[in-house]
Structure 1
């Protein structure tokens, strides 16, 4: 009999000990009737903060990871850069991590290599988009070329054959952004379902959620639907629940918030040549120490560096 005693993952959040992170992500994205939310993370700090905020899962954003490394979101960061960043995100949080895998960094062979390496580093899932390599961020430029449907299905099947259910496989459809319309988006969703995808991510650059909601109505939840409301952020969340959206990804907001704060603070320090005025507006060092459990390190030092003192 399996042990289903709970293991604490975050404040107020428990999962059975025998569940993997992929199992937890699948329960959130694929099997839950409630709307789920994934928060963007691009490094260990953003992952730890998102966990403390109460999120139950993370999105390892390709855009944000590229930004953190000083690259453009145009496959300038390599798959190994991505995998290394994901490892830090996984190690800094106990939450399941869905990874933005772009198009898989090439053909079916690159995609399955990426999936295998992500599994080894502890990722819970990967989202692959039907773009051509090298990709360009969806919000830059117009009418990006789409991958051939059969070729992309081969990428999905290769990933599924490699990692089976050890990673949640999300197929991301760029047809609406590329200007191909709803019929093409639905046709691709059917093909990707047949190829083994666990969920469909439908993407849009419109400031209105109308085409996303229309897709959900037409798709009829044949697979769970994941959305990224970066551009149509004014849409009330109740609208996503109305059409049975499975998961909302807040895809780049920690990075954008960090960039805004750093730009503001750096500007003030440069102008004022002093940090006294900005000290009340930044996180105290003690909060950083608490976030990464420095007290545990002190306890471990007492246990392992001075074990004889503990015995007396």
Structure 2
């Protein structure tokens, strides 16, 4: 089993400092990139061990793990604190779901500065007002004014370093607007300094996403989140020149399903004997968290017993 990365294994620089450029490389690469959702240090370690080259710090999953709805109920400071744990648990770049920036240009630039300080490699800001609602909940998704949102993007670009990746997320299709409206917004956000465009859809097929990609013609890299149109073959994204696919909430959803099953079994059986083989062993948990590194550090730094 591969050893997990721990915050103490990079002694020359922080994980974030080493990773920022590689997120830009992933997004700009000619190869289709995949980012896996993480919502805490443990899920980050698992996704990294599975082989993912980058992580998505999901607003939905982080909010859910804290017991909040994905409607800006979790504060930006709580999100930033969780992101720090995610960054500490991995050596791959972390792209953060920044919702709508938690307010106006001033809130957005403060968020970006704090995320970069905690080692995040980039942030996605969506063109909604504050508070926002999860894109798959209900039909009320008012969009931000294009010029006002462009100001948020400019503020982030002027605040963060050149290595920090800014992704503008377009919610026009989610809100029921036309492809033309999505393209108008994409062009405005490119002019405002976005490094990439995330185009989102709630339909079960990828038609409008692929139509956007064709019309956009790769002016900036296109990132997608195929949560609803999951049956679309990945080859379609490659053929369309899509830059990056985000698997946006699947660690959290897997955890819910697994914990519900185990809790129900233990409650009904009043025993853990029958489920012991179905859950990860303690040795696996200790390996993921890096107890072996702690043991090596003790040998190096703790004095031995006196003779």
TM-score range, shorter chain: over 0.9
Q: Where does residue 54 of structure 1 map in the other structure?
A: 51
Q: Where does residue 37 of structure 2 map in the other structure?
A: 40
Q: Where does residue 19 of structure 2 map in the other structure?
A: 21
Pairs within 5 Å for 1:128-277 = 128-277=125-274
Correspondence for 1:278 among 275, 281, 284: 275
Q: Where does residue 123 of structure 2 map in the other structure?
A: 126
| CA deviation after TM superposition for structure 1 residue 20, in Å | 3.3
Unmatched segments (≥5 aa) in structure 2: 6-11
Q: Secondary structure at the match of 1:218?
A: helix
Q: Is the 8 A contact 1:156 1:195 kept in 2?
A: yes
Greater shift after overlay, 141-150 or 224-233? 141-150
Q: Where does residue 3 of structure 1 map in the other structure?
A: none
Correspondence for 2:113 among 109, 112, 116: 116
| CA deviation after TM superposition for structure 1 residue 143, in Å | 4.1
Q: Count matched residues.
A: 296
Q: Where does residue 68 of structure 1 map in the other structure?
A: 65
* Greater RCO, CA 8 A, separation 6+: 2
What is the distance in 2 between the residues matched to 1:104 and 1:251?
18
What is the distance in 1 between the residues matched to 2:121 and 2:161?
12
1:99 aligns with 2:96: yes
| CA deviation after TM superposition for structure 1 residue 123, in Å | 0.1
Q: Secondary structure at the match of 2:166?
A: strand
Q: Is the 8 A contact 1:111 1:158 kept in 2?
A: yes
Q: Deviations over 1:91-131 (max 9, x none)?
A: 00011000000000000000000000000000000000001
Unmatched segments (≥5 aa) in structure 1: 1-8, 11-16
TM-score (norm 1): 0.92
1:290 aligns with 2:287: yes
Q: Is the 8 A contact 1:119 1:166 kept in 2?
A: no
What is the distance in 2 between the residues matched to 1:293 and 1:88?
14
Q: RMSD between aligned alpha carbons?
A: 1.7
| CA deviation after TM superposition for structure 1 residue 168, in Å | 0.1
Q: Deviations over 1:16-42 (max 9, x none)?
A: x9973110000001x200000000000
Q: Deviations over 1:47-104 (max 9, x none)?
A: 0000000000000000000000000000000000000000000000011000000000
| CA deviation after TM superposition for structure 1 residue 307, in Å | 5.1
Greater shift after overlay, 228-237 or 19-28? 19-28
